[in-house]
Amino acid sequence: MSDEVHNIHDAFSKEVFSNPDRAIAFFEQFLPPSLLKAIDLSTLKVSKESYIPKSLKEYFSDLVFTVNLKKESKAVTQLALLFEHKSEPDKNVLLQVGHYMFSHWMTCIRKKKPAYPIIPIIYYQGSKRWEIPGIKTLFAAYPDTIKHYLPDIPNIFLPLKDIPEEKILEIRDAIMVTAILAQRSKIHPIELAEEFLQILSLFPHDAGDRNFFETLIVYTYSVSNIADDQMTEVLQQLPQPIKHKVMTTYEMIKNKGKQEGKIEGKLEGKIEGKIEVIIHSFKNGYPIPEIAKITNMSIEEVQIILKDNGLI
């Protein structure tokens, strides 16, 4: 994923979950009941520290929360929300998660700081179905006497693709509802302006965060495939003063796009007539460097096209 596209998704995800009230509403809905019985979500705090070592930055970004236990009010554990960067499932993900956890604990030891239990929550936003294999599965050819000594890395896996919309709508925080629905647009890009309008209509405009509303508009538009004329026509249906806010932000996005160009805009002149060749070649097993050579494009440009079409 290009840095520009990755930064859009990563920045929005962190903006969504960095609000404690929104994060609590999300965790209430999606953490296992046994864990919810053990932790006191009312004590949840967002840490300003990231535990991602340089060796894992290409795989994850993280947001760390501290929370007290119910029975031991002074006992603290940590929820590490790991935003998966890759658009394809990675069989080695639990090795990476283990590296993440142990690297942080070793840092705590080195700095003589207290180490807390870390509960890894893998937030997967890719379009392909993924069942995370256990570490022992990676060494399936070995006998059980050897695999007995391999560690397990328990985790909470949340594939956005598989979360039913009705489950999302049950989240008690309306802003979080709109944010998660917008994130699903990364997997299934919005094609109709009515869908965009539906997300905006769910936002609690009477008491909602106005700054976040603008962020929501920018993000949702950035990951949609809606024609400008259709968007303008449907947005006219919004009631005032919401309409003014949305239209102002929408015009700002369009103007910025004209001045700076979206990634797709930058490539449009080069790739016209070549997209089908790239997709067809990739599906037939041609390596990306060879496809780039055939189409007279850079490897990065080919990768962007393939990722935009959900192929990598």
64 closest CA partner among 38, 92, 44: 44
Taking CB atoms within 8 Å and a gap of at least 24, the contacts of 45-50 are 45/20, 46/17, 46/18, 46/19, 46/20, 47/78
Rounded distance between C-alpha atoms, residue 262 and residue 4, angstroms: 9
Structure-token match 């985790």, residue found: 155
Q: What is the pLDDT of residue 194?
A: 74
Q: Which two tokens stand for residue 80?
A: 């590490």
Element (H, E) at 43: strand 39-46
Contact assessment for residue 219 and residue 258, using Cβ atoms and an 8 Å cutoff: no
Residue-range domain boundaries for the chain: 31-162, 192-261, 264-308
Rounded distance between C-alpha atoms, residue 171 and residue 25, angstroms: 6
Contacts of 131 (CB under 8 A, 6+ apart): none
pLDDT tens, residue by residue, 139-190 = 999 999 999 999 999 999 999 989 998 999 999 999 999 999 988 877 777 7
pLDDT tens, residue by residue, 63-117 = 999 999 998 767 899 999 999 877 678 899 999 999 999 999 999 999 999 999 9
Q: Which two tokens stand for residue 132?
A: 């995370």
Rounded distance between C-alpha atoms, residue 124 and residue 158, angstroms: 6
pLDDT tens, residue by residue, 260-301 = 444 444 334 444 456 777 887 777 677 787 777 767 677 877
Contact assessment for residue 219 and residue 8, using Cβ atoms and an 8 Å cutoff: yes
Contact assessment for residue 121 and residue 158, using Cβ atoms and an 8 Å cutoff: yes
Strands (E), the chain: 39-46, 60-69, 76-84, 118-124, 156-159
Rg (the chain; Cα; Å): 22
Average pLDDT, rounded, for the chain: 82
